[in-house]
Amino acid sequence: MPLRKTATLIIVSLAILFIEVALIRWISTESRIFAYVNNLVLLACFLGMGTGSYLASGKLRLYLTPVSITAIILLLNLPLKLTIGDKPLHLFRDIPTFLSSFTDSIIWVEPGQGSTFLLTTMGIVSTLIIFLLIFTTFIPLGRILGRIFESRQDTIKAYSINVLFSIVGIWLFAGLSFLYSPPILWFGITGIIVLALAFLEVESGPVSRIASIVFLAVVVPGIYFIDVDKDSERVVWSPYQKLTLDRFYDESAELDRGYFIEVNNAGFMTLLNLSDSFMVRNPAYFNREARQFSQYDIPYLFASDPDEVLILGAGAGNDVAGAIRNHAGTIDAVEIDPGIYALGVQYHPEHPYSDSRVNMFIDDARSYLKKTGKKYDIISVGLLDSHTHSSAYNNTRLDHYVYTRESFQEMKDRLKDDGILTVIFEAQRPWIARRLHNLLGEVFGQPPLAFVLRSNGLYGWGGTMYITGNDFTGIESVLNENPFLHRFISRRAVSLSQLVKSGEEVRLTTDNWPYLYLEKPAVPRMHLALMIILGFLAAVSGKALIGKNRGFNFNFFFLGAGFLLLEFQNVSKSTLLFGSTWLVNALIFSAILVLILAANYYAHRVKPRGLKPYYALLVLTIIINLLVPLSIFNSLAFWLKSVVSMIILNLPVFFAGIIFIETFRTTPRKDLALGSNLIGAAVGGLLESVSFIIGIQAMLILIGILYAMSFLTGLKAPSLASEVESPVGASLTDR
């Protein structure tokens, strides 16, 4: 392979993965509609790459990539606002508010803000504008990739480089996230990559080179000057989310309350000072009697001076400070985001994390519960409501697997015989409050105490609090012995009979159906509205594309859709087994690509004479995954669990990889096959929403159907096996 072409393949392979994950992370943060409908960005990336590959013979137009990214940056940072009532709303950052009329799923805005048809239409149009800009960003990259695959004779080397540098792209961004790098650095690297491609691809022309230079020299430095957060006290891009820290000054009380943290541009928590000394200095606003009923202190009225306390979702330290104030012995604090913890260490006024009684664990809550063997007097679940998805390849948020039947059972198992569990949650819909109530009631065998805490922010954010335990008689005894506490809770008790319509059942969340913010098994109306519009646009443009190129490879289309859903399965199940941390996600994607390489190597050495045995093995491993419950793996030691579970979960990936390679080896038009495969992957992203109805496990049936369709359409495909070299590397499309 010529050196220039090798360099082009290396850079475009790295670029596609790097720019994809960077845009998913950044756009989902700054325009949170793409966090709630998280696969929209991924869908736009795949459609753009697929269209580019499908039209590989057309004009390159590499300038589309920097120009489209520049347009997205400007749309999200310029003051494009209109006033609704007395509230200014940004046309692109506040899309969730425009779409808040869709009430069957939760988006974190004030309900009813976008209830008019006009505002809803504006929200959909704004979403589609960003979607189309992401789409055009990837067209040139897909075109370059399609051309290389179509023109190369040394298929083995080309595909191997593709996969290896896709892995490099994943870890480059993962490393930048680990180092808390800001988006200006991500876009700087993007500019360098695109500029390199502009000079390597002779056909890109001077316009593409000029556009790339302008992007790198003008747009990237200019991000600082138009950044809406540049006046904030501090902005931290942790491995998970954007954290914005500002001073919290209570003007009505003329009181400096400390600091306030936003997560992904939404209010998250105040770093409260509820210490005795602060109470004494400000008697007009605070008192110790009221403080004992804060969400951070009230658990210790039911278990005074506990020896062992576990706090899940410790955040910046409010819950830990509450445990310290109430003389807890040992406090194990679990927080998934090291950035939030670091802000708590530096800025929390009570400095709870400096106390010697505190053991800090930067981990996923479910992961910690599986690892620990300790028993606790109190397990306190803080406000874990998340604004972040666990991965771009599934539709679960970071907190989804905390609020399932299996999760609460694990918490119950970690309690001492007389231990108590407290859960505080901002239930924005009655059915969420009812769901949590029924989950706790089912796991612990009796209904929990449930009451609403509100203090106008003086003593915490507030929400619905649930208290239960292994020995509920102990909780009742505390209430009987403390009439003041009994009266306080009785006045705020939740009337559960009024939370839902008469006779209506609330679906309980499980590890198989973890959708806490979805009212019932259905594709949310917001998802449906956006997907129907996008589907219509794709159908119209797709008809034009197929007509122009005289063909569409449905075999590869179904292979792409099936493989995307296989990834969805692996990410979701691996999250349950090993946690939802950024490192686990990076390892999952890397493992999938390595498995593709292994499948390619196998196909190169063995040279399968037919695909029927491999389709049979694929179906068999899918059935095994369908029948084997994940709970079996959790009974194994960690390393044994890691090996056994990864083998079973990934066997379908291995056989699907072999099928892809052998099918690709015999296709006459690799650019059309690649484009069809990527477009199929985009459709797989749409089909992921079916899990809202049937659950995650049953998606394996849909995967089997898609691969059956690929088998049937493959029977009619032309074979050029004798003319094409067998590859050792698999296409990025198999991701």
> Which stretches does DSSP call E strand in 426-479?
449-453, 463-469
**Residue scoring higher pLDDT (66 or 588):** 66
pLDDT reading at 111 higher than 50: no
At 732, the pLDDT band (50, 70, 90 cuts) reads: very low
Judged against a pLDDT cut of 70, whether residue 460 lies above it is answered with yes
Q: For the chain, give the percent of residues with pLDDT over 90.
A: 42
State the pLDDT at residue 332: 97
| pLDDT, position 467 | 96
Residue 671: which pLDDT band, with cuts at 50, 70 and 90? confident
> Taking the CA of residue 378 as centre, how many other CA atoms within 13 Å lie in the half-sphere pointing to its CB?
34
50-79 burial, b at 16+ Cβ within 10 Å, e below that, comes to bbbbbbbeeebbbbbbbbbbbbbbebbbee
Is pLDDT of 144 > 50? yes
- Bridge partners (DSSP) of residue 202 are none
pLDDT of residue 558: 95
* Residue 18: closest CA among 245, 263, 193: 193
Q: Determine the Cα angle at 162 with ends 161 and 167, to 5°.
A: 95
Judged by average pLDDT, the poorest of 51-65, 173-187, 350-364, 707-721 is 707-721
Query: What are the structure tokens assigned to 523, written together?
Result: 């594709």
Q: How far apart are CA 258 and CA 346, in angstroms?
A: 12
Place of tokens 């869908």: 43
Confidence of residue 156 (pLDDT cuts 50, 70, 90): low
Residues in the chain: 735
Q: Quick one: which H or E segment has residue 579?
A: none
Nearest to 452 by CA among 274, 263, 298, 285: 298
Question: What pLDDT sits at residue 721?
Answer: 39
Find the range with the poorest average confidence among 146-155, 463-472, 575-584. 575-584
User: Which residues sit opposite 256 in a β-bridge?
Assistant: 249
Q: What type of residue is 248? A: F
pLDDT > 70: percent of the chain: 88
Give SS3 for 587.
helix
**Whole-angstrom Cα distance, residue 104 to residue 519?**
6
**Whole-number average pLDDT of the chain:** 85
Query: How far apart are alpha carbons 185 and 464 in whole angstroms?
Result: 41
SS3 category, 357: coil
Cα separations (Å) of 238 from 243, 265, 319, 652? Answer: 7, 14, 21, 33
CA distance 589 to 637: 23
Sketch out the chain's domains with CATH numbers.
3-229+526-734 (1.20.1250), 286-386+405-498 (3.40.50.150)
- Average the pLDDT over each of 169-178, 238-247, 396-405 and give the range with the smallest value: 396-405
pLDDT tens digit string along 207-237? 999 999 999 999 999 998 888 888 888 999 9
pLDDT band at 728 (very low <50, low <70, confident <90, very high): very low
Alpha-helix runs per DSSP H in 300-458: 318-325, 338-347, 365-371, 405-413, 430-444
Each residue of 681-712: pLDDT tens digit? 888 888 888 999 999 899 999 999 999 999 99
Is 420 strand, coil or helix?
strand
H helices, E strands: number in the chain:
28, 13
> Cβ(678)–Cβ(684) under 8 Å?
no
- Please determine, for residue 584, whether its predicted confidence score (pLDDT) is greater than 80: no
Select the more confidently predicted residue: 251 or 174.
174
**Which of 172, 40, 22 has the alpha carbon at shortest distance from 96?**
40
pLDDT band of residue 672 (cuts 50, 70, 90) is confident
> What does the pLDDT look like over 164-219, one tens digit per residue?
898 899 899 989 999 999 999 999 999 999 999 999 987 888 999 999 999 999 99
Report residue 45's pLDDT band, with 50, 70 and 90 as the boundaries.
Answer: very high
> Residue 192 has what pLDDT?
96
Residue 717's pLDDT is what? 58
Q: Closest by alpha carbon to 634, among 462, 409, 304, 382?
A: 409
Pairing mode of beta strands 242-250, 234-237: antiparallel
Tell me the longest C-alpha to C-alpha distance in the chain.
87
